[in-house]
Amino acid sequence: MSKQDKAKTTEVEPSRRSFLTKLWIGLGFVALIEIAGIVIAFLRPRRPRLSETNSEAIITAGPVDSFTPGSVTAFIRGRFYLSRLEEGGFLALSRKCTHLGCTVPWIEKDKKFECPCHASAFDITGDVINPPAPRALDIYQVFIENNIVKVNTGKLIKRSEFRAEQVVYPEKKV
């Protein structure tokens, strides 16, 4: 083989080193595109999962008369307790403790919510009666239409303590 033939064959066949260099450059560009996508997804604002107008956020609890005064009813689907106070008003309380987020069960015999994680306790209005919970249980908006209790679980309302204006009362029958 002549020198010219050898030169032609080396020009035509790429070396292993040049192939691997091109491969690494290509993989580097793919990695840069993936990182750019992650950064853009991180910086883009999130869409809310449930909006106040979303029909899935509104849970129909039932007729006013089906809840006896001084009772608490758990709604698993909505992740809240519907509390009917002795005066007849309603509160929809979050099931999560404000201390560390544990689920607080209603203890019927003691008439209180008691956190199994750190022994925080809350009364029927969700107000703290035994720390370490720093504030009252969060609530959801309750409204009564045609004597039917409905709860909007689309937006959690954080509160520091129980206030009388948080209670929703049914219309008095004339």
- Is 172 domain-assigned? no
Do 95 and 152 fall into the same domain? yes
pTM (predicted TM-score):
0.65
Do 99 and 67 fall into the same domain? yes
- Is 171 domain-assigned? no
What pLDDT was estimated at residue 52?
43
What pLDDT was estimated at residue 139?
93
**Count of structural domains, the chain:** 2
Nearest alpha carbon to residue 117 among 137, 107, 130, 103: 103
Do 60 and 112 fall into the same domain? yes
Do 37 and 59 fall into the same domain? no
Q: Which residue has the tokens 């009917």?
A: 84
Do 113 and 153 fall into the same domain? yes
Do 13 and 99 fall into the same domain? no
pLDDT in tens, the chain (174 residues): 566 655 555 555 778 888 899 999 999 999 999 999 999 888 888 765 544 445 568 888 889 889 999 899 998 877 899 999 999 899 999 999 998 888 999 999 999 999 998 889 999 999 999 888 899 999 999 999 889 999 998 888 999 888 989 888 888 765
Do 61 and 134 fall into the same domain? yes
Do 65 and 25 fall into the same domain? no
d(CA 65, CA 62): 8
- Is 50 domain-assigned? no
- Is 48 domain-assigned? no
d(CA 94, CA 71): 16
What pLDDT was estimated at residue 7?
55
Domain range holding 27? 3-43
Do 89 and 32 fall into the same domain? no
What pLDDT was estimated at residue 16?
85
Q: Which residues pair with 84 in a beta bridge?
A: 71, 90
What amino acid occupies position 145? Answer: E
Q: Which residues pair with 49 in a beta bridge?
A: none
